[in-house]
Structure formats: structure tokens, C-alpha cells
Amino acid sequence: MHDLLIKSALFVTCDRNHKIVYDGTMAIRNGRITALEPSDSDAAGQLQAHKTISAKGRLVMPGLINMHCHAGDSLFRGLVEGLTLESWLRRVWIAEKAILTPQTTYLGSVLGLAENLLAGATTVMDMFWYPNETVRAANDLGMRLSTGGIFFDLPGIGDRMHVNYIKEAETFMATHQESETIFPAILPHGSYTVSPEHLEDAKAISDRYGALFSTHAAETQAEQSDISNRYGKSVIRHLEAHDLLGPRSILAHCVHVDKTEIKMMADSGTIVAHNPMSNLKLGSGIAPVYEMLDAGINVTLGTDGAISGNDLDMWLTMRLAASLTKGVMMRADVVTAKQVLHMATLNGAEALGQSKNLGSLELGKAADFIVLDLNSIHAVPMFDPINHLVYSTSKSDVRDVFVDGKQIVRDGKATKVNMDQTIENVRALAPSIKASLE
């Protein structure tokens, strides 16, 4: 006996072969996918479960994986506008310093993670000041999260020093090492905000635990000049010189990288988190996604924080990732819809070391899936579901979300957290947020 059957849906599995089951039935037991068969098959006819959901007119696919976010920054959405990264950051840090405590970080994290969740992301990699509060928010919502100790050399939030960051990162690692929902990571902010020695300290912790390591890298030309002036090398070469590339290293952005650097990243198995919306809005540039894919780099997708891209929408991210390179190269055949759908699902799972568990609808994997409504004017006709997902789907099409076979969004609403109360609390805080920059 299974726990749950999802019947009569269009399944886009996002497996290696991009298998689609046009009218399928999926079974779930103990949070795992136990069967996925055509609805008219004998095998599907024999499936029995405690609960059955008819999903006719719906599309079911794996939950999306957002590989670069700062959920708590949702508190500051729209506060700092019209500036490029470096001057933008200086304003952001003033506001963060005035507002962020563990309590407000929790509030912002619920806000930002819920936006991710309602838009279909079931797993998020997040870098923020109080990671334990982001974990609490993800646990409350029922999502998976990769986060961990931040590193930052300037006087940061809470006036912590390097020695404090080391201690916090170590404790975080030890606490979440065995978790199936929290994937611990080491997250130094960037090579322009963390010294080479401190970056090495951070990497040593990630190496000791075999944990993920993620940092901002090669986001703007100004960052390249800064790092070249300080260390005589470009950002990626600087990271390489300090042994910071590798298959557990996830570099956010990589907008300004040359051919040699792309090869360095490919040869070392380094992963890229591409954030097209943030890169466009901050005037950072357009990452060479075609060249990175062509070199064999695992390219994943991220929204970045809502303070830079102004929303946390993986559908917009997919559409930009699929379209920008075509425009830049004046070629319609590069960066295909299939490649982009994998960037938002299976590639993220691989980056997190979770390819056996997440990223596609396959037997034995966790039942992390989303249900999209196809009864909308932009969903008919639908000749190719994968093209539809990348170019026509909106976050409002996401109606239901399941993690580990448990429903955590029902008909567009989070089931585990009272979001009305969250909205009220954020509204109450808004005047102080605005005042922080006055």
C-alpha cells in the first residue's frame, strides 16, 4: 500500500533523458517516489494508496532548486535602486546593519523562502548573516535549504570577527552534518570582502567536513580591477591560486570570465550559479553561459536576493537564462529549453551532492514535486511541455508543492506557516527599514 497517488497528470520528469509521461500516475511511499507509470497501464491499475489526488489538467515536475539567494534581504526589496554593485552594496550594508537581528532575519527569511516556495522552489541555497534563523524559517515552511557560516572581513552584522565566524561555521557543520533537509555549506561573501587567508580558513572547514563552499565571484568589472590591483590576478585565477576551485565550490555570477578561466573552472569541476536578473538590474553584465556549458561546467540557476533582482522567481530566471545568450550571440539554437530546465532542477541537485535524491522524478528519489495548473489561456495549445515551462510558465501557475511527499503548498498557499501574520509583521517593520537610509 502506497501513501499517495497523483493520478492523470502530465509528468515532466527532468531525468537525464527528459522523459515525459503525458497521462501518468505517480505513487509515493515514505516520502519516496515508488512508481511512475502511464495511467492506462496494468501497473498503474494495480497501484493502491491511502490517498489519491486526481491531477487531470495539471503538470507535475520536480521542485525547482534555487542555487543562489539571500532570502532575508526580502525585507529591503526596492530600498536601494539605480546603483551598480559596489555603491549599491555600501547602501545595503547600512540598512542591514540598522535592521538585522536574529528576529528580523527570521522574519525576512520566512518572507523570502515563502516567495521561493510559492513559486515552486523546494530547495534553496542561501547566504545570510544569521544562518540558524534561515534554517528555522525553512524548517517551519517545510523546505530544503543549503546554508551555513558566512565569512566577512569588514565590520559586519552583529559586529562579529573572523574568529566568531569560524566558530559559528564549525558549530553549524557539526549540527547539520547528517540532515536530509539542511545541506551545510561554508559561505564567504567574496574575494573582495574576505582576505585570502580567511578564505583559506573557510575552505579548510568545508574540506574537513566534505561540505559545500560557495562565494560571489567575478560579478562585475570593478571587482575584477579591485582583485587584480590587490593580488595581481583576476578573480577566478586568485581563487585558483588559493585552491578554492573544485567540485564542491559553487561560484555565484561568473559574469566576467575569460576562456582560460572557464577552462580552469571546467577542469576543476567548479559549479556556477547563474543569476541573470540580478546581473542585468545591477548593470553587471551577461554571463557567458554558452561557453560555460560548452566547456562542460555544471551551470545552475539562482535568483540572488530580492534586493538586487526584486523578486525570487525561478521562472523568470529560466526565461532570461534561455534568452539572453541567444540575443547576445544572435543565434536561436544556443542554450536550449532542455538545458535550462536541467539548470533549474537536476544540475542544482548535482551541485548540492544530492543527485541520487533530488532534481528529477525518478524511482527512489525524494517526492519533492510541484503541480502546475494547465487550465490557463497561456497553456493552450501546448505542443512541447519543456518549451512551455521555460518560456511561458509563470509562478502563479504553481498551485501545489510537496516535499518528501508532504504537501506544503495547497492551492497557492503555504500550509505550515501563517503568511498573513508574516505580511503584517513585515508591514510593521517597514517604516524602520525606510528610516535606516534617511
Point out which residues bind Zn ion (CB under 5 A).
304
Query: Which residue matches cell numbers 566558530?
Result: 167
Specify the residue, 251 or 408, whose C-beta has the smaller distance to Zn ion.
Answer: 251
What DSSP state is assigned to residue 270? Answer: -
We find the least distance from the C-beta atom of residue 73 to Zn ion, in angstroms, to be 9
List, in order, residues 6 or more apart from 360 with CB less than 8 Å away: 13, 14, 15, 16, 62, 345, 346, 349
Cell numbers linked to 73: 534581504
We find the least distance from the C-beta atom of residue 70 to Zn ion, in angstroms, to be 6
Q: How far apart are CA 293 and CA 304, in angstroms?
A: 20
Cis before 381 (ω within 30): yes
Specify the residue, 64 or 250, whose C-beta has the smaller distance to Zn ion.
Answer: 250
Cβ(152)–Cβ(164) under 8 Å? Answer: no
Which residue sits closest to Zn ion, CB atoms considered?
304
We find the least distance from the C-beta atom of residue 76 to Zn ion, in angstroms, to be 13
Specify the residue, 201 or 304, whose C-beta has the smaller distance to Zn ion.
Answer: 304
- Percentages helix, strand, coil for the chain (3-state, rounded to 5) are 40, 25, 35
We find the least distance from the C-beta atom of residue 416 to Zn ion, in angstroms, to be 27
We find the least distance from the C-beta atom of residue 305 to Zn ion, in angstroms, to be 6
Cβ(301)–Cβ(321) under 8 Å? Answer: yes
Question: Phi then psi for 189, rounded to 5 degrees?
Answer: -60, -50
Specify the residue, 152 or 369, whose C-beta has the smaller distance to Zn ion.
Answer: 152
What DSSP state is assigned to residue 247? Answer: T
Specify the residue, 71 or 138, whose C-beta has the smaller distance to Zn ion.
Answer: 71
Specify the residue, 216 or 237, whose C-beta has the smaller distance to Zn ion.
Answer: 216
We find the least distance from the C-beta atom of residue 281 to Zn ion, in angstroms, to be 12
Cβ(360)–Cβ(345) under 8 Å? Answer: yes
Cβ(35)–Cβ(27) under 8 Å? Answer: yes
